């Protein structure tokens, strides 16, 4: 089976090569060692989903992930330290990237209103967060509470967190959330279908939900903790992007492990390479288990060193979290005053 590889040398444009790339009957000759810009394979990518066979061949032709290498690189990048002014800027950037989230069965309208107030005015002169994320039935509450303050309303959908319902139900839930005012939809893929190799089913569901989103952005949750291998994380990332995802997201936050640094690294590599191949930029959202300022800064370093600073904006990178914001605010106050404030000085999320 033909395989895909890329040469990644600092200062040299990323290239793809093989003795022959054949996807869906399309062929691109590329002698090993020759420089073939990624954009030259774009026409092949457009036909990758023309059949189940073609999609499977493409996904299984992606380069395998070196698990040891990914773990070591993520660990190495996690040791980078940021001090003083740079740390203060990183904290504010992280705050602006937060999707402040509540996804509990006990959620109430009052809790969502309080969360929206905090999203717009986290504390002092701290920047507002990127979005609030709630269940579909609470979207109207969030829309009203935010009142055009510039914070997006995100809604989970498609039978969150399991993803186990009919396509008709998933589309109807998405349509309802968008009609209620959601700016963004966080959908979950059918992991059972993906793991059993029914890639076209997953692809077609994403395409249908994307169509139902209209102008709303679509974040596709891979639930990486259930995908078993790093190779599957890479395949699921490409599958979601090929189907039209605006963002790929690690987790629902309901499964452990969630947003581990190596998984985020692999997804960042995927969006970087996807843009090189197609010209279309896709965002990344790690979610679940990101609780401290140190965790947030590690993610920012991963973004900068893997995908590049084009992704270092709330438009292209988000942090899905419920408790992270308070720690960012505490660290922010420590930098400004030299004193830590206890958690009692901040509202509970």
User: Distance from CA of residue 146 to its chain's centroid?
Assistant: 24
Q: Which of 246, 249, 298, 327 is catalytic?
A: 249
Q: Is the dihedral of CA 224, 228, 230, 235 positive or negative?
A: negative
Mark whether 219 is an active-site residue.
no
Q: Which of 186, 190, 273, 295 is catalytic?
A: 186
| Dist CA 188 CA 249 (whole Å) | 9
Q: Which of 285, 295, 298, 327 is catalytic?
A: 285
What count of other Cβ atoms lies within 10 Å of the Cβ of residue 167? 14
Mark whether 309 is an active-site residue.
no
Spatial CA neighbour of 221 closest among 198, 194, 197: 194
Please work out, in degrees rounded to the nearest 5, the angle formed at the alpha carbon of residue 250 by the alpha carbons of 246 and 255: 140
Please work out, in degrees rounded to the nearest 5, the angle formed at the alpha carbon of residue 279 by the alpha carbons of 20 and 75: 85
Mark whether 249 is an active-site residue.
yes
| Dist CA 217 CA 202 (whole Å) | 18
Contacts of 158 (CB under 8 A, 6+ apart): 165, 170, 173, 174, 187, 188, 205, 209
Judge whether 223 and 159 are in contact, CB under 8 Å. no
Spatial CA neighbour of 185 closest among 237, 137, 246: 246
Per DSSP bridges, beta strands 98-101 and 131-134 are: parallel
What amino acid positions are annotated as catalytic residues? 186, 249, 285
């Amino acid at each position: 089976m033909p395989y895909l590889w890329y040469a990644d040398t600092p200062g040299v444009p990323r290239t793809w090569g093989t003795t022959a790339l054949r996807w869906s009957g399309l062929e691109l000759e590329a002698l090993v060692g020759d420089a073939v810009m990624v954009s030259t394979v774009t026409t092949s990518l457009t036909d990758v989903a023309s059949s189940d066979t073609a999609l499977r061949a493409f996904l299984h032709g992606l380069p395998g992930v070196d698990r040891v290498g990914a773990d070591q690189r993520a660990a190495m990048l996690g040791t980078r330290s940021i001090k003083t002014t740079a740390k203060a800027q990183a904290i504010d950037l992280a705050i602006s990237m937060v999707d402040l989230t509540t996804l509990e069965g006990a959620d109430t309208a009052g809790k969502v209103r309080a969360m929206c107030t905090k999203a717009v005015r986290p504390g002092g002169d701290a920047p507002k967060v990127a979005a609030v994320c709630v269940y579909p039935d609470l979207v109207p509450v969030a829309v009203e509470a935010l009142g055009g303050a510039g914070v997006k309303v995100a809604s989970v959908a498609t039978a969150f967190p399991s993803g186990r319902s009919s396509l008709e139900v998933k589309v109807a839930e998405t349509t309802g959330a968008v009609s209620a005012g959601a700016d963004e939809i966080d959908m979950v893929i059918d992991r059972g279908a993906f793991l059993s190799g029914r890639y076209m089913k997953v692809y077609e569901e994403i395409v249908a939900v994307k169509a139902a989103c209209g102008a709303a952005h679509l974040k596709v949750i891979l639930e990486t903790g259930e995908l078993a291998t790093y190779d599957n994380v890479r395949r699921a990332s490409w599958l979601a992007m090929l189907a039209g995802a605006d963002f790929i997201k690690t987790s629902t936050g309901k499964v452990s492990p969630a947003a581990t640094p190596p998984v985020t690294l692999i997804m960042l590599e995927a969006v970087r390479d996807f843009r090189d191949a197609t010209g279309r930029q896709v965002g990344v959202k790690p979610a679940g288990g990101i609780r401290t300022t140190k965790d947030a800064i590690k993610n920012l370093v991963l973004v900068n060193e893997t995908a590049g600073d084009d992704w270092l904006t709330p438009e292209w990178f988000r942090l899905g979290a419920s408790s992270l914001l308070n720690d960012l605010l505490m660290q922010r106050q420590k930098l400004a005053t030299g004193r830590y404030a206890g958690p009692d000085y901040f509202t509970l999320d």
